[in-house]
C-alpha cells in the first residue's frame, strides 16, 4: 500500500473496504503530517482534532459494518477559512473584522459531512480573499511547499499548500478572479472553477457574480469527486441551479475524439509568458491530439476584461469596508484598503454597466464556442512569485512593481463569463516550480474540462511532493 499521504480518495476507500487500513489510522497520519510541516508552510488557521477523530471513528464503524456513506466516507478534507463550519471561529484572514463563529454549515461543509469526510482544519487565505497571494494580516505568510521562499498563491492559499503535501485529499476553495486556479497552478494541484451557479453558496459572497466555490486536489478524479459533492443543490442559494450534479467521475474516461481545441498562449493581450511555461504547455497538448482532438493555436479575439471585473471586485470590497469598524480599518492589508476606498468612489451606474458588459462578454464567448469546444491557455504565465508577489524569470528580469493581476492574466476572464475552467499540472519550470494548464469550455460543460484534464494527467503524470523544499528567513522544517 502506498504512503497514506499519497493515496487518492478511491484508493483510501478501497483500502477501508478491504480492511487494509482504517479512517482512524488515516486521520492520525494526516494530523501528524500537518503538525510536522505546519511550521514551514503555515497553511492552517483552525484545527479541531477531537472532532476529526470522532468523525474518523464513526466512519471506521460504518466501514466495519459494511455501510459506508459513499466514496468520500473517511476521506480527510480541508475547508477554506471563509466557508462556514458550525462552531469553528472564522477570521477570513482579517484582523479588522471581528471573527465569526457560525452555528450552521455552509452547503459545501454540509455535503462533506453528509458524505462522511473527515475535516482536519480551516485553511488560510489573504484578507477577505482579495488577492492572488497567500499572506494575510491575521495569519502571516502561507508558503509554497515547492520552494518556501515562494507564495502558495491565493486566495485559496492554505488549501493548495496543504494539498501539495498530501495533508488531506479533498480541499474546498473559492474563486473570484482565479483563487482556486492560481494556487493550484503554483502548488502543482488540479482544480476547477465551476460554471457560475453550479455550486451553491451560503452566505453569498460580496464579490457577487464573479465568485464561486471550487474543488482542489492532487488528482483530477478527486477534483471530480469533490465537485459532485459540492454541486448538490441547496435551497439557501436562490441563484444556484436546482439541477442534480453531473456524473463527472463517470465521464472522466469519455471519448474526446472529434472535439476542436484552440491553444492561446496569450489570449491576445497577456504579457510576461515564461518560455518554460509556453514550451511545457504546448507539449502538454499532445495527449489531446492523440485522443483525437483537433488542436490549433490562435487568438479567441477577446479584450482584456480586468477593468470590468474590477468593478465587481471593488464594489464588493467597499461593501465589506462599510461594515468594518472605522477604528480598526488601519489593521487591514493596505492593498485591500485601497481597493475598498476605490470601490467607495464607484457610482451605482458603473455596477449596472458592468453587468451589461458581463452579459455581452458571456455571449461573445458563447459564439466563440460554436466552433471551438475547448479553449486552452497556461493557467499562469510564470512559476510562483516570491512571497511578496515578485515574479521571476526572463520576462521579469528587470524587476516588477505592478499589481498581482499583471502576473495572472488568464484566470479572471472566465469568472466574468461564468464558464468552467479547470487547471492541471503539466511540468516544472527551470527553477523547479509547478506549471499549470487551463482548460475552458462552454457554460455547463464542467465534466468536459475535467475529462480533458484527466486525459492530460494520465499521459503526463506529475511528481508527488514528500516534504517542503528550500528555506526562508525564520522558517525551519518541523
Quick check: helix, strand or coil at residue 170?
strand
Give CA–CA dist 304/86, Å, rounded.
40
This prediction has a pTM of 0.97
The tens digit of pLDDT for each residue in 209-224 reads: 999 999 999 999 999 9
136: left (phi over 0), alpha (psi -120 to 50) or beta: beta
- The partner residues of 151 in beta bridges, in order of sequence, read 143
Through-space distance between the first and last CA atoms of the chain, rounded to whole angstroms: 25
* pLDDT(475) > 50: yes
* Catalytic, out of 22, 94, 136, 155: 155
* pLDDT(160) > 50: yes
* 179 is known as an active-site residue: yes
* Catalytic, out of 22, 59, 80, 264: 80
* 408 is known as an active-site residue: no
Buried b (16+ CB within 10 A) or exposed e, 103-138: eebbbbbbbbbebbbbbbbbbbbbbbbbbbbbbbbb
Burial class (CB in 10 A: 0-12, 13-18, 19+), 347: exposed
Name the CA radius of gyration of the chain, rounded: 21
The tens digit of pLDDT for each residue in 167-179 reads: 999 999 999 999 9
* pLDDT(477) > 70: no
pLDDT recorded at residue 476: 47
Buried b (16+ CB within 10 A) or exposed e, 216-229: bbbbbbbbbbbbbb
Give CA–CA dist 81/169, Å, rounded.
17
- Cell readout for 304 is 482584456
Q: Tell the CATH topology of 4-460.
A: Amidase signature (AS) enzymes (3.90.1300)
Evaluate whether 73 touches 23 at the Cβ level (below 8 Å).
yes
Ranges of each domain in the chain = 4-460
Evaluate whether 152 touches 144 at the Cβ level (below 8 Å).
yes
* Catalytic, out of 94, 156, 179, 417: 179
The tens digit of pLDDT for each residue in 230-284 reads: 999 999 999 999 999 999 999 999 999 999 999 999 999 999 999 999 999 999 9
pLDDT recorded at residue 393: 82
Percent over 90 (pLDDT), the chain: 95
- Is the Cα torsion angle 433, 188, 362, 267 positive or negative in sign? positive
* pLDDT(128) > 70: yes
Give CA–CA dist 216/155, Å, rounded.
13
Quick check: helix, strand or coil at residue 69?
coil
* pLDDT(2) > 70: no
pLDDT recorded at residue 1: 56
* 255 is known as an active-site residue: no
Amino acid at each position: 500500500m502506498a504512503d497514506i499521504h499519497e493515496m487518492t480518495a478511491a484508493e483510501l476507500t478501497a483500502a477501508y473496504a478491504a480492511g487494509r487500513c482504517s479512517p482512524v489510522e488515516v486521520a492520525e497520519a494526516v494530523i501528524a503530517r500537518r503538525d510536522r510541516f505546519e511550521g514551514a508552510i503555515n497553511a492552517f488557521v483552525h484545527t479541531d482534532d477531537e472532532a476529526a477523530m470522532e468523525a474518523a471513528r464513526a466512519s471506521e464503524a460504518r466501514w466495519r459494518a459494511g455501510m459506508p456513506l459513499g466514496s468520500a466516507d473517511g476521506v480527510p478534507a480541508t475547508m477554506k477559512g471563509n466557508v462556514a463550519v458550525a462552531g469553528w471561529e472564522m477570521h477570513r484572514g482579517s484582523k479588522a473584522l471581528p471573527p465569526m463563529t457560525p452555528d450552521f454549515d455552509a452547503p459545501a461543509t454540509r455535503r462533506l459531512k453528509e458524505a462522511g469526510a473527515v475535516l482536519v482544519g480551516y485553511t488560510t487565505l489573504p484578507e477577505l480573499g482579495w488577492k492572488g497571494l497567500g499572506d494575510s494580516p491575521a495569519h502571516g505568510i502561507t508558503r509554497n511547499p515547492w520552494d518556501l521562499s515562494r507564495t502558495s498563491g491565493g486566495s485559496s492559499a492554505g488549501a493548495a499548500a496543504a494539498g501539495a503535501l498530501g495533508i488531506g485529499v479533498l480541499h474546498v476553495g473559492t474563486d473570484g478572479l482565479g483563487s482556486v486556479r492560481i494556487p493550484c497552478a503554483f502548488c502543482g494541484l488540479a482544480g476547477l472553477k465551476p460554471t457560475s451557479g453550479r455550486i451553491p453558496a451560503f452566505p453569498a459572497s460580496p464579490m457577487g457574480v464573479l465568485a464561486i466555490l471550487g474543488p482542489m486536489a492532487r488528482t483530477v478524479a478527486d477534483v471530480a469527486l469533490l465537485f459532485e459533492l459540492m454541486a448538490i443543490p441547496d435551497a439557501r442559494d436562490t441563484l444556484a441551479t436546482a439541477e442534480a450534479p453531473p456524473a463527472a467521475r463517470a465521464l472522466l474516461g469519455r471519448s474526446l475524439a472529434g472535439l476542436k481545441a484552440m491553444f492561446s498562449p496569450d489570449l491576445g493581450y497577456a504579457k510576461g509568458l515564461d518560455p518554460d511555461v509556453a514550451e511545457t504547455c504546448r507539449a502538454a497538448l499532445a495527449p489531446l491530439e492523440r485522443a483525437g482532438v483537433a488542436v490549433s493555436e490562435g487568438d479567441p479575439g477577446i479584450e482584456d476584461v480586468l477593468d470590468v471585473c474590477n468593478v465587481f471586485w471593488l464594489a464588493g470590497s467597499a461593501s465589506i469596508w462599510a461594515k468594518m469598524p472605522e477604528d480598526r480599518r488601519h489593521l487591514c492589508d493596505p492593498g485591500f484598503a485601497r481597493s475598498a476606498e476605490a470601490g467607495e468612489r464607484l457610482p451605482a451606474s458603473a455596477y449596472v454597466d458592468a453587468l451589461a458588459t458581463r452579459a455581452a462578454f458571456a455571449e461573445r464567448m458563447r459564439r466563440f464556442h460554436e466552433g471551438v469546444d475547448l479553449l486552452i491557455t497556461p493557467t499562469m504565465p510564470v512559476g510562483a512569485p516570491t512571497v511578496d508577489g515578485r515574479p521571476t524569470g526572463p520576462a521579469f528580469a528587470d524587476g516588477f512593481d505592478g499589481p498581482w493581476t499583471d502576473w495572472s492574466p488568464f484566470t479572471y476572464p472566465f469568472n466574468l463569463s461564468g464558464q468552467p475552467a479547470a487547471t492541471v499540472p503539466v511540468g516544472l519550470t527551470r527553477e523547479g516550480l509547478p506549471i499549470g494548464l487551463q482548460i475552458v469550455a462552454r457554460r455547463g460543460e464542467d465534466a468536459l474540462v475535467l475529462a480533458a484534464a484527466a486525459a492530460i494527467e494520465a499521459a503526463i503524470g506529475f511528481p508527488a511532493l514528500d516534504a517542503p523544499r528550500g528555506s526562508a528567513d525564520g522558517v525551519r522544517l518541523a
